Amino acid sequence: MRAFARPSFAVVFFVLAAGAVALAALAVAGGDPGGSVPPAAAAAPPPVPRTVPLDPRETHFASLTMLTDGGENAEAYFSFAGDSLVFQSTHPPYGCDQIFTMKTDGSAKKLVSTGKGRTTCAYYLPKDRKILYASTHLGGPQCPPPADMSQGYVWAIYPEYDIFVADADGSNPVPLTKTAGYDAEATVSPKGDRIVFTSMRDGDLDLYTMKLDGSDVKRLTDTVGYDGGAFFSPDGGKIVYRAHHPEPGPALDDYKRLLAQNMIRPGKLEIWVMDVDGGNKRKVTSLGSAAFAPFFHPSGKKIVFSTNYPEPRSREFDLYMVDLDGKNLERITFAEGFDGFPMWSPDGRKFVFCSNRGNAKPGETNVFIAEWKD
């Protein structure tokens, strides 16, 4: 299971879906221990990258190419030059997410994290000579345990997470954060001057910025509740993020109880925007669903995000786009299952996201790149 970070909300869906398929296959096979009926030969998976058919309603995509095939792949983000992607992936021999890079044509995939602990939320630094990501490996080489689902559907907030910067090939990882508790969900301003990230250093899940060397840390949010998953606007002047601020009473009590156990309940999240200094906060969406993974349109006037609106208990997540004032909500993707983690290339011509579509095995999540049309 993925850590508490941008990708976490959809992971349970992926695992449940994969498990359901496995059980169905076992029932059809009858569990024949004698092997009286020889199994069909496994078909070789189609190569990647490969072109994937578009739903005719997905009018913003001129083409769509699948870049990975197998396991869980998420949070693929462009380099500043727009020719590479850094992403997280779970596949053998790794028991939980590790960070990889690849070219935007799907070639030259390379492990760039340590292969130990659990990692999340990678991003390139200016000039693409370094990357940053969050990892638990200083807390131990093993994958930390999954969230305690006896509490209902919750995300784990692993206090071992710290943010690291490393050379682009993964060498020389150095921690940027050293405070106790969760530090993750870091992204870099297009201006190349600051990092925004989520931290529990002051007792709640809030947003902070810091310089690229980890100095000059500034707190941006202070309302009780979760603020995270932040990205800068194209001009670096604004920040978009996801948030849930529970009302006083049972909801707030539940939030505080779970937080004390390093967990959070993510059923309702809305998209917010603020100035880069933390001023002028305003809520963009009021959908009553789970809205997350927001990213600014290249114009800076719209936001794309993933949500299970209009069915807040649904496992169907699609990409939507909306104006900064919350008007003109437009659905972008229509494939069955999960679509999330969208990002435009720096020149605005390419669009990357992660999806359940086109998979060799149901329930897997892969990276896709599209030619974008406004």
Residue 57 within a domain: no
CB 4 within 8 A of CB 157: yes
DSSP symbol at 113? S
What is the residue-level pLDDT of the chain in tens, covering all 374 positions? 334 444 443 343 333 333 333 323 322 223 322 322 333 333 445 667 889 999 999 999 999 999 999 899 999 999 999 999 999 999 888 999 999 999 999 999 999 999 999 999 999 999 999 999 999 999 999 999 988 889 888 999 999 999 999 999 999 999 999 999 999 999 999 999 999 999 999 999 999 999 999 999 999 999 999 999 999 999 999 999 999 999 999 999 999 999 999 999 988 999 999 999 999 999 999 999 999 999 999 999 999 999 999 998 888 999 999 999 999 999 999 999 999 999 999 999 999 999 999 988 888 999 999 999 99
pLDDT at res. 39: 33
Q: Which amino acid is located at 149 in the chain?
A: M
d(CA 172, CA 184): 19
The 10 Å Cβ neighbour count of residue 136 is: 24
pTM for this predicted structure? 0.88
CB 182 within 8 A of CB 157: yes
Structurally, how many domains does the chain consist of? 1
At residue 203, φ and ψ (nearest 5 deg) are 95, -10
Query: pLDDT tens digits for 255-310?
Result: 999 999 999 998 899 999 999 999 999 999 999 999 999 999 999 999 999 999 99
Burial, 123: exposed, middle or buried (Cβ in 10 Å; 0-12, 13-18, 19+)? buried
Residue 73 within a domain: yes
Q: Assign residue 174 a region: left if phi > 0, alpha if psi is -120 to 50, beta otherwise?
A: beta
Q: Assign residue 183 a region: left if phi > 0, alpha if psi is -120 to 50, beta otherwise?
A: beta
CB 70 within 8 A of CB 45: yes
Residue 43 within a domain: no
Residue 64 within a domain: no
CB 64 within 8 A of CB 370: yes
pLDDT at res. 46: 60
Report the DSSP pairing between strands 110-111 and 98-103: antiparallel
Residue 48 within a domain: no
Q: Closest by alpha carbon to 272, among 262, 287, 258?
A: 287
CATH code, domain carrying 307: 2.120.10.30
Q: Closest by alpha carbon to 246, among 231, 262, 230, 268?
A: 268
d(CA 208, CA 196): 6
Bridge-partner residues for 368, per DSSP?
A: 66, 353
Is residue 34 helix, strand or coil? coil
Query: How long is the chain?
Result: 374
Tokens 């194209």 -> residue: 234
Domain that holds residue 301: 8-21+69-364
DSSP symbol at 45? P
Residue 229 within a domain: yes
Tokens 């149901």 -> residue: 362
